[in-house]
Amino acid sequence: MIIKFHWWNVTKYIYSSLEHVMANSEDYSERLHVWEGWRRETGKKMRPLYEDYVDLKNEASKLNGFKDYGAYWRYNYETIDEDPLYRYTGDELMADVRTIMPLYKELHAYVRARLMEVYKGDIDAEGPLPAHLLGDMWGRFWTNLYRLSIPYPDKPDIDVSKTMVDKGWTELQFFEEAEKFFMSVGLYEMFPNFWNNSMLTKPTDGRNVVCHPTAWDMGNREDFRIKMCTKVTMDDFLTVHHEMGHNQYQMAYRNLTYLLRDGANEGFHEAVGEIMSLSAATPKHLQSLGLLAPDFAYDEQTEINFLLKQALTIVATLPFTYMLEEWRWQVFEGNIPKDEWMKQWWEMKRELVGVAEPYPRDETYCDPPALFHVSGDYSFIRYFTRTIYQFQFQKALCDAANHTGALSTCDITNSKEAGTKLREMLELGRSQSWTKALHTISGDTRMDARPLLDYFQKLHDWLKADNAKHNRMVGWNPEISPYLKNQIKVRLSLKAALGDDAYPWNDNEMYLFKANVAYALRQYYAQWNISHSFTSEDVVTTPWTPRISFYLMVKNPETLNELIPKDVVVAAIRLSRARINDAFQLDDQTLEFEGIIPTLASPVKQPVEVWLVVFGVVMGIVVLLGAYLIFSGIRERKKKPAKATVENPYDETAEGQTNKAFEEGDDEQTGF
């Protein structure tokens, strides 16, 4: 299925056709078409707006006493307390990233290997993952990769989406079951306004709405709502628990003064929603709802399947979140200039996340605002901190519920003890620092990734063993591109060719180079009466090195999301090689296209003097004539009968005379 993009309808279809393609398609080109089209129709058009946004947000932040907008966001986590136990600075925020990366890299290696089986020839075994193959439009969650990477596919499916549909579950039923869960632990029944005023499914009256799930506190202590275009899937079932978790937090602190009606920090609010999802996702809870068979057995292989599914949602998103926010902070701080936004965005993505752009970018793009949270002015670090908090919360609540066994099997349903512990923390709202609120529920005063690592320990061990068994590289080489197979390396030797007359290589020369390559492509297709409007903008080059080398590739001007295959570009350059050389006063040795043999260049001839040619011809004739005479004489002698050889022809004695010519006679003759 190919979708034509138009700015006025792309938003309308993002939660239908486009989302469906990115969740389900296994067609590399179709996914690339959607991925690139979305960024061209959103990010590119938002580029000037986002540049203004950065300037204005920084200006407003400085007026409020912050050095930039990133510092303003980080202030949400800073605490000032006389007791150093509860004091916290924004510099501590990313301390847990390093502890999570070993688990992430093992997961990355496993997923890469499984995707290589689906997209044969399109993924390098040691390279980053192409960004458009990760299960959604942004590669934020890898949940939809589960069906492609399930370790033990013969085990019962723990993604119960199909069972929900088969059993006739409705969207409304999701919210009713979530409410039952909250009430079972002693939290709140939803207020009547929730059921009357929420938008729980996509309107069918033709209205265009933003479908991104959100929870709302209308500020009057009795009206709490959700806006969501719910679908009957397991993913949305868990999202409902998450969003209603926000509402539970809002209802818990509703009696505080208005300014204190908020989470202890933004990450707390997200974490509260997530701990509800952790219990709702367990096979035990799903079995209690009749979504897994009564005889369902939770054995070791099923546990690995479950943990992998959880990791694709939870672990895979952590480097994504960290890298996105780090890039924004650097942009707000001015450390990344505007003319390098995309360059450094994808360099960081490759280095930190192991994900690469599947199509060349330039500075006309602006990929980050293609994500709802970025264009919507949301701080994103909350999604990193919430993941750490949620497992600290979960461990504390499971301990309160007297859970025994692995943390991943804990379901706090019906535990009033766990609910009481949670409610005590929720009711604090923002009246206490988050370090004190965290201490209330878990006894900790700092973020700690150990509960998260404990939750996934069995999976981590399994991934290490499986990757080692199959000799997979753990990690990635950030220099490898998904489009590497279509790149051609170019080297120029201006000094060697022109000496002191060498001209400098600059942007103008690169423009001329691109124009020449575009000309070559036009000429190539013209052979078959095919008209392609190649321009210099279709020719993509990487930044050149000081010794003047760079990589070249060519976009397809007709589709705008495909690269011209390397073999076609090679053929076009060979066809116009002499014209390209002449444009730069170079030859095949000083303008080198790596891997392209100069078959169409004129033969190289050494200068030859004319007299040498004549002399050679004459000497050849003499030698041949001499040989002829020698061999013909030998042949004639062989034909005569054998007789005595006489050296002097006048020395004849047949008639008793030595030589008749000299007989004695009357006349004397004298000779000289």
Question: Which residues have a catalytic role annotated?
Answer: 243, 373
Q: How far is it, in rounded angstroms, from Cα 191 to Cα 214?
A: 17
Q: How far is it, in rounded angstroms, from Cα 125 to Cα 561?
A: 24
Among the listed residues 436, 350, 392, 449, the one whose alpha carbon sits nearest the alpha carbon of residue 95: 449
- Phi, psi values for residue 218, rounded to 5°: -80, 0
* Amino acid (1-letter code) at residue 519: Y
- Phi, psi values for residue 550, rounded to 5°: -160, 170
Tell me, what DSSP letter sits at residue 604? P
Annotated binding-site ranges: 77, 242, 246, 270, 382
Q: How many CA atoms lie within 13 A of 4 on its CB side?
A: 2
Burial of 2 by CB count in 10 Å (0-12 exposed, 13-18 middle, 19+ buried)? exposed
What is the three-class DSSP state of 315? Answer: coil
Annotated binding-site ranges for chloride: 77, 382
Q: How far is it, in rounded angstroms, from Cα 22 to Cα 369?
A: 18
- Report how far apart the first and last C-alpha atoms of the chain are (Å, whole number): 119
Burial of 482 by CB count in 10 Å (0-12 exposed, 13-18 middle, 19+ buried)? buried
Pairing outcome for strands 355-356 and 129-130:
parallel
How far from chain centre, in Å, is Cα 120?
16
The CA dihedral of 64, 65, 67, 68, to the nearest 10 degrees, is: -20
Annotated binding-site ranges for Zn(2+): 242, 246, 270
Report CA Rg, the chain.
Answer: 41
Q: How far from 324 is each of 205, 327, 353, 416, CA to CA, in Å?
A: 37, 5, 10, 39
How far from chain centre, in Å, is Cα 395?
34
Q: How many CA atoms lie within 13 A of 118 on its CB side?
A: 18
CB atoms within 10 A of CB 15: 16
Q: How far is it, in rounded angstroms, from Cα 225 to Cα 228?
A: 10
Tell me, what DSSP letter sits at residue 503? P
The contacts of residue 648 (CB under 8 Å, 6+ apart) are none
Contacts from 373-381 at CB under 8 Å and sequence distance 24+?
374/324, 374/328, 375/42, 375/46, 375/50, 377/53, 377/57, 379/73, 379/76, 379/266, 379/325, 380/321, 380/324, 380/325, 380/328, 381/73, 381/74, 381/77, 381/93, 381/266, 381/267, 381/321, 381/325
CB atoms within 10 A of CB 357: 23
Q: Which helix (H) or strand (E) holds 549?
A: strand 549-554
CB atoms within 10 A of CB 109: 23
Report the greatest alpha carbon distance in the chain: 174
Among the listed residues 241, 238, 243, 242, the one whose alpha carbon sits nearest the alpha carbon of residue 227: 243
